[in-house]
Amino acid sequence: MALSKISNGGLETLTQAGIVATSGMPAKSVIQVVSNTTTADISTTNTTFEATGLSASIIPASTSSKVFVIVSSPSWYCDNQNAYATVFRDTTNIGNGDYGLMQVYVGAAYAPSTTQVLDAPASTSSLTYSVHHRVRVGGSSYISYSTYGQFTITLMEVAG
């Protein structure tokens, strides 16, 4: 299938020579999008951040690129303590060390939650972003329930 672009003169077909290399993309252009989902039941009683099993990997085209991370939970439940979630880039927590990037309060009943963070990894190596969660003390939390939809992580590389 041929690629097309809209110009002042109408629709043009692009040849291989007409395709813009990622290095030629204007700043703030989205270069690539990677996404992963699960519908598994995911819970914890852990008071330190533990992996949920939801992750996605991306290889940035340039060290000046940023990675925009979006995490969406269709239904988050915690019983008698606050619960927190964060995003790790490989082994680095890119959220707040104690509270992460997302929080639900005591007794939250199936609350949909979404968070996003713009990361500047300065790398062209493969990077894995993963969602981790924890509870404060003596409670339990479900960050994903299979009956409520897809728990999703999306990565967008943004040209620097």
The CATH number of the domain where 107 resides is what? 2.60.120.1340
How many whole angstroms separate alpha carbon 49 and alpha carbon 68? 21
Q: Give residue 146's pLDDT.
A: 83
* Domain carrying residue 140: 22-158
For residue 142, being part of any structural domain is answered with yes
Q: For residue 32, count CB atoms less than 10 angstroms from its CB and return exposed for 0-12, middle for 13-18, buried for 19 or more.
A: middle
For residue 5, being part of any structural domain is answered with no
For residue 11, being part of any structural domain is answered with no
CA angle 94, 74, 57 (to 5 degrees): 40
For residue 10, being part of any structural domain is answered with no
Q: Give residue 11's pLDDT.
A: 47
How many whole angstroms separate alpha carbon 145 and alpha carbon 121? 31
For residue 2, being part of any structural domain is answered with no
Q: Give residue 18's pLDDT.
A: 53
Mean pLDDT per 10-residue segment, the chain (160 residues): 53 52 80 95 93 97 96 86 93 91 80 92 97 89 86 96
How many whole angstroms separate alpha carbon 76 and alpha carbon 134? 12
For the chain, the distance separating the N- and C-terminal CA atoms, rounded to the nearest angstrom, is 30
Q: Cβ distance 75 to 145 under 8 Å?
A: yes
What is this structure's pTM? Answer: 0.84
CA torsion through residues 49, 54, 57, 62, sign: negative
Q: Cβ distance 146 to 37 under 8 Å?
A: no
Number of residues that make up the chain: 160
For residue 14, being part of any structural domain is answered with no
The backbone torsions φ and ψ at residue 106, rounded to the nearest 5 degrees and listed phi first, read: -45, 130
Tokens of 135: 């509870």
Q: Give residue 17's pLDDT.
A: 54
Question: Which ranges of the chain would DSSP assign to H, the alpha helix?
Answer: none
Q: Give residue 50's pLDDT.
A: 95
For residue 141, being part of any structural domain is answered with yes
For residue 53, being part of any structural domain is answered with yes
Amino acid at 7: S
Q: Total domain count for the chain?
A: 1
Q: For residue 123, count CB atoms less than 10 angstroms from its CB and return exposed for 0-12, middle for 13-18, buried for 19 or more.
A: middle
Tokens of 157: 């590389």
